[in-house]
A and B are shown apart, each in its own frame.
Chain A
């Protein structure tokens, strides 16, 4: 079982729709969770972080964390073509505080 799993996609959504990206993790003691966005040919950039169960909103982005089910999700409201990118989920694992483990990413395509 991979430590951090994401569906590779592509996930295709029409402009203006809600994009839902999911991530599951295997270490039940994981504490910090992040979503990075990576445009093709570019480096990842942080868009959201979440540490507690529930929802965290930042503009059009909402991160959701459910530690009991070991998943974290990212919702993008009013999706725009500029949101088309690969979204990477990252988790800090207990016992290895200095490691941030990434999922393989989900490619999102927002269509006109």
Chain B
């Protein structure tokens, strides 16, 4: 089954304790992205990756790191979590993301993981 898998789904941690949220996709997608979702603020992009070894900041990258060593994996790292990083996190992937491409080709169609609810105390 084509899917994006995130782990853990739920995590409660304490301030400053490094954690990693894993994301893996089995669709051979080039594009992967992390979003956080907060009430009233919607989905905000943290980091994205156009392909292996190519990553870039989204709109809210502070306090996060990512890496893309393999095409299928895109982990999100919180080096020193703080309470303001308490949120619902989504990993998503797409065949490719490019303005103007039609979604019928698979471009610009995001497939989301089930989400990871993180609480930082």
Beta-carbon contact of B112 and A43 below 8 Å: yes
Beta-carbon contact of A88 and B43 below 8 Å: yes
Convert B104-117 into 0s and 1s, putting 1 for each residue whose CB lies closer than 8 angstroms to a CB of A: 10001110111100
Q: Counting CB contacts under 8 A, is A104 at the interface? A: yes
A86: nearest residue on chain B (CB-CB)?
Answer: B42
Q: Please, how many residues of chain B have a CB less than 8 angstroms from a CB on the other chain?
A: 30
Beta-carbon contact of B108 and A104 below 8 Å: no
Cα–Cα, bound, A102→B108 (Å): 13
Beta-carbon contact of A32 and B45 below 8 Å: no
Cα–Cα, bound, A98→B82 (Å): 28
Convert A82-111 into 0s and 1s, putting 1 for each residue whose CB lies closer than 8 angstroms to a CB of B: 000000101011101111111111000000
Convert A17-59 into 0s and 1s, putting 1 for each residue whose CB lies closer than 8 angstroms to a CB of B: 0000000000000111010100000111110010100000000
Q: A43-B115, A99-B48, A100-B97 are in contact. Are A34 and B108 (CB under 8 A)?
A: yes
* Size bracket, chain A contacts: 20 to 34
Beta-carbon contact of B97 and A97 below 8 Å: yes
- How many inter-chain contacts with C-beta < 8 Å in the A-B complex? 77
Beta-carbon contact of B103 and A92 below 8 Å: no
A93: nearest residue on chain B (CB-CB)?
Answer: B99
| Chain B residues near A42 (CB-CB < 8 A) | 114-115
Q: Counting CB contacts under 8 A, is B74 at the interface? A: no
Cα–Cα, bound, A112→B109 (Å): 33
Convert B79-114 into 0s and 1s, putting 1 for each residue whose CB lies closer than 8 angstroms to a CB of A: 000000000001000000111111110001110111
Among B1-51, those with CB < 8 Å from A are 31, 33, 35, 40-45, 48, 50
Beta-carbon contact of B110 and A100 below 8 Å: yes
Cα–Cα, bound, A56→B1 (Å): 29
Cα–Cα, bound, A49→B94 (Å): 14
Q: Counting CB contacts under 8 A, is B62 at the interface? A: no
B44, B58, B110: the one within 8 Å of A46 (CB): B110
| Additional pairs, 10, CB under 8 Å, beyond known A8-B40, A104-B40, A104-B42 | A43-B112, A44-B90, A49-B102, A49-B104, A51-B102, A88-B42, A92-B108, A97-B99, A98-B50, A100-B33
